[in-house]
Structures are given as structure tokens and as C-alpha cells.
Structure 1
Amino acid sequence: MRNTARPGTPRAPRPSVFRHLVLAPLLGALLVLTGCQAITDDGVAPDRARLLADMAAQLQRASQRPYHAQYLLADGVRGEISQQAAPARSVYSYPGGRLMVDAEGQTSCVTAVRPARCQIRPLPGPGPAALTGYHEVTRHGLVTAPIVTDLLQAAQLQSQAEVEAHDVTLAGQQATCLDVSGLTDAEAGGFTVCVTAAGVLASFTGVVGGVVVDQALTRISASPPAAVFALPEGARVVDHRPKTPAP
């Protein structure tokens, strides 16, 4: 049986962002996972399901380590993802705004105005609402690990989805990539995502919720600057969290 890719499948990163990629072998060969494989009782090819589940688990592991990642986004703008382990908190910065997430809540800031305007909301409960803040970040062209994990889980449930795996080196980091296509009833019909060995999102190309995302890692360090976790200087802050009654 000949391995083929469906027309329109995102197979390679866009040249504008990925022109410096250095291709590397994945176990010595490109894995093309299509309907030619055995199918489990739930209609999902086992190797394909394993690749999707492994990448989702890899992203989850990275949520417990500190790092500061800089990205080149579509149209040549920049974005950053910073994470701290103790206390656990993350910041997603994009042109004109940022989202800060910690155990106390989610703080979204508009930094394109002076003074900056920030709103603090309680952490949403489980379910679709849990991704609300991350969807807002995606609308500005920066995709995050929770959104990618949601897409990977959607692909696991759809037997018609096709997956191809390969390796790249990006910003000096070896990364495993998955090209996913054929999704229905998902935020993206297809996408290419790469994740480093440490579980950090290395790149993403696709249309998510109608937004073109073309994101590539340009620099990464293990020590995020302390300043990125602070509110913008002079910001006007509105706290929407329930007030704790006085004892």
C-alpha cells in the first residue's frame, strides 16, 4: 500500500516562519499513519492514537517546569510564554495584551492602551469554559498548550483523522511533530504541531477558530524573568473574583 497524504494536509511549516528549520530523522524514518493500519474496537488506529496521546502527555509534563519561550508569530510579530513552577503560574504575552494564570485566578490585560487595563477572574471550572481565557490568546495569534491538548484529544476521538509524524530541530531544540488532518467538529480542521523533548510547544501552524496561527520558537531559557509575572506598571485593575466574607 502506498503512503499518501490527503490534499491540503499541512505537511510542512510555512516558509515565512520556518525557513531555518533543520530536518532530523524520527527513529530513522517518517511515520505515515493512515487508514492502512489495524483498527481498534473504537475505530481508532492504535499507533495513531498512541502518538496523539503521547504528545498530549508530553505537553502536560512541561506544565511542571519553569521556562521562558519566545515565538515568531504570523505577520512577523512576537509572542512569549513564561512559566514558573513554585508558585505555579504562567503568562502568555502577545502584541497588545497578556494572560496571566495562577492558583488565584486568571488575569487578562490589554496593554495596547495607557494605562493598561486588567481584569481578574476566578479560575473556571472543568469543561469548555476552562479554555475561555486561552481562546482569547489564540485570537491574537498565539496558541497555548491547553488549546493544543484539546485539539489532540479531539483527533483521538475521530477515526477519520490522519496523522503523520516527523522530527525537526528548532531554536536548537529537537522536537517531535505531528501533522493532523481530516478533523470535523473541532476548532481546527487540520494543523501541524511540534513539541520539544522537554514538552515545550515548539511550533504550530493551522487555522484555529478562524484565526491563522503560524508560530515558531525562536529562543528558550529555563529561567523566566521575574518581571513578566508582574502586572503592567500603573495598570487599572478590576477584580471580578467573589469577595471573601470577613470573619
Structure 2
Amino acid sequence: MFRRAVLAPLVGALLVLTSCQAITDDGVAPGRARLLGDMTAQLQRAAQRPYHAEYLLAEGTRGEISQQIGPARAVYAYPGGRLMVDSNGHTSCVTAVRPARCQIRPLPGPGPAALTGYSEVTRHGLITAPIVTELLQTAQLQSQAEVEAHDVTLAGQQATCLDVSGLTDADAGGFTVCVTAAGVLASFTGVVGGVDVDQALTRVSSSPPAAVFALPEGARVVDHRPKTPAP
């Protein structure tokens, strides 16, 4: 409801992509492909800068995404848990219990397994750039998908939005996503993997607090990474 209340008065002129557009050899409208490709590139650019973003989620809950560049690492905090990602692996923590319980796993290989940790975050109502990127790339490959673009302002940030519909054999049949000029995810609305995601940016800064990258105090940690053989 928060997102709809903010977006309604701010929606600009819609760029509606219709069947009147020229079609490439693979049946994809070039304007639609460009919009999807540009937003994907925007999200990827954000991976090169530090930031801390706070979100209002469905049912009034809160979430956060924090990213640091040196060393490269990111934290996704959602109600009852968090996922920490760095070059050493994925650390998922359940913070709804005391003490918190954390498990460290090696970085997944390429392919569908690479999104496993991020998909778990989505199941708790917080969507991440890797999942959004996957949905945008799926839309690029489906010529029947429809895309409309508009601009909004959220948390004082100008953002470009895409309304995507008509997807088949995908985790979401349709969704609306907004991304700031800096590449930070500004909002997302849609049903992804059966989860109703309604996420809107409330605050963003370029300086993530150092404390967010630490394990919860007193956490019980199980490390599932392969042990390095002794020399």
C-alpha cells in the first residue's frame, strides 16, 4: 500500500511498447530489449559502489541491503534473518532466535544454484538485485512479454521503472521494478515464487554502518565449507 500511495501521483507519461514497433529477427522489439538491458546494466553498476538502503516491506515490516567495496561484501537483512555474501561464501543467519544461528556455505557455482541464497531472502519478502536481474533477463528472452516504462521519485531519489507482464515459465508472471540512477533497487512489486513482494525504498546513503557486516553477537555458527587439507 505504501508503494502504491507514493507512485500514483508521481507516475510520468508511460512509454507503451506495442506491436507497431519494428521486430528483430528473433521476434523481440528492439525498444523493449533496450529498456530491459538498460535496467540490467543499471543494477550491475551499483555493484561497484558502497551503499546502505532501507526498505518498507509487505505488512509494514522492514528490510535492509548494505554493500561495501573494500573488501567486496553485501548484507541482506529481512524480518527474522539475514544473508551475508563475500568472497569466502554465503552466511545465512536466523536472527529470530537467541542466540542467532548462522551457517556458512561456499560460494555456489554458476547456473541456477548461484541464486539459491538470494531466493531464500525472497521467500522472506525482500528481493535482491541478482533475482531482479534474472527476471529482467528472462523477460528479454520472451518476445510476448510486455514492458511499459515510467519515472518516479522515492526516498528523494529519481528512479526509472518498468512494468513487465506476460512472462511464462518464470518465477514471476509480471512485476513492477524501479531502479535509481545510481543503480540501487528503489522498489519492487510482484509475486515471485509464490511470495507476494511489495518493497519500497525509504532511505539510502553511501556509507553502510560497519556493524551490519558483523555476525550477530553470540551467534552459533556452523561452517559447511570444505576444510583445507593440512600441508
Provide the C-alpha distance between the structure 2 equivalents of 1:208 and 1:30, rounded to a whole number of angstroms: 24
> Helix, strand or coil: the match of 2:2?
helix
- Structure-1 residue corresponding to 2:10: 23
Is 1:80 the counterpart of 2:64? The answer is yes
CA gap 1:184/1:99 in 2 versus in 1, 3 angstroms: same
Q: How does 1:132-151 map to 2 (within 5 A)?
A: 132-151=116-135
Q: What is the correspondence of 1:154-193 to structure 2 with a 5 Å cutoff?
A: 154-193=138-177
- Measure, in 1, the Cα distance between the counterparts of 2:160 and 2:3: 17
Question: Aligned residues: percent identity?
Answer: 86
List per-residue Cα deviations over 1:126-166 (Å, max 9, x = no partner). Answer: 00000000000000000000000000000000000000000
User: What residue identity is the alignment partner of 1:192?
Assistant: T
User: 5+ residue gaps in structure 2?
Assistant: none
Q: Deviations over 1:25-69 (max 9, x none)?
A: 4xxx42111222111001100000000011001100101110000
Q: Do structure 1's residue 117 and structure 2's residue 101 form an aligned pair?
A: yes
Whether the 8 Å contact between 1:18 and 1:216 is mirrored in structure 2 is no
Q: Distance in 2 between matches of 1:113 and 1:23?
A: 41
In the alignment, does 2:51 pair up with 1:51? no
1: CA distance, partners of 2:18 / 2:204 = 34
Distance in 2 of aligned mates of 1:34 and 1:133: 36
TM-score for both structures, normalised by structure 1: 0.91
**Which residue of the partner structure matches residue 92 of structure 2?**
108
Could you tell me how far apart the structure 2 residues matched to 1:115 and 1:72 are? 26
2:189 to 205, 208, 225: 205
SS of aligned partner of 1:40: coil
1:228 corresponds to which letter in structure 2?
V
1:80 is paired with a residue whose SS is strand
Residue 24 of structure 1 deviates from its aligned partner by 5.9
Which whole-Å CA distance do the structure 2 matches of 1:156 and 1:74 have between them?
28
Q: Residue in 2 aligned with 1:95? A: 79
Contact 2:81 2:95 in 1 (8 A): yes
- Unmatched runs of 5 consecutive residues or more in structure 1: 1-14
Partner letter of residue 23 of structure 1? Answer: L
Q: Which has the higher helix share?
A: 2
Structure 1 segments (4+ residues) deviating >2 Å: 15-18
**Does the Cα contact within 8 Å between 2:2 and 2:200 map onto a contact in 1?**
no
Show the counterpart of 1:10.
none
Q: How many residues align?
A: 230
The RMSD of aligned alpha carbons is 1.0
State the AA in 2 paired with 1:162: E
Matched, 1:246 2:230: yes
Which residue identity lines up with residue 99 of structure 1 in the other structure?
L
| 8 A contact 1:204–1:215 mirrored in 2 | yes
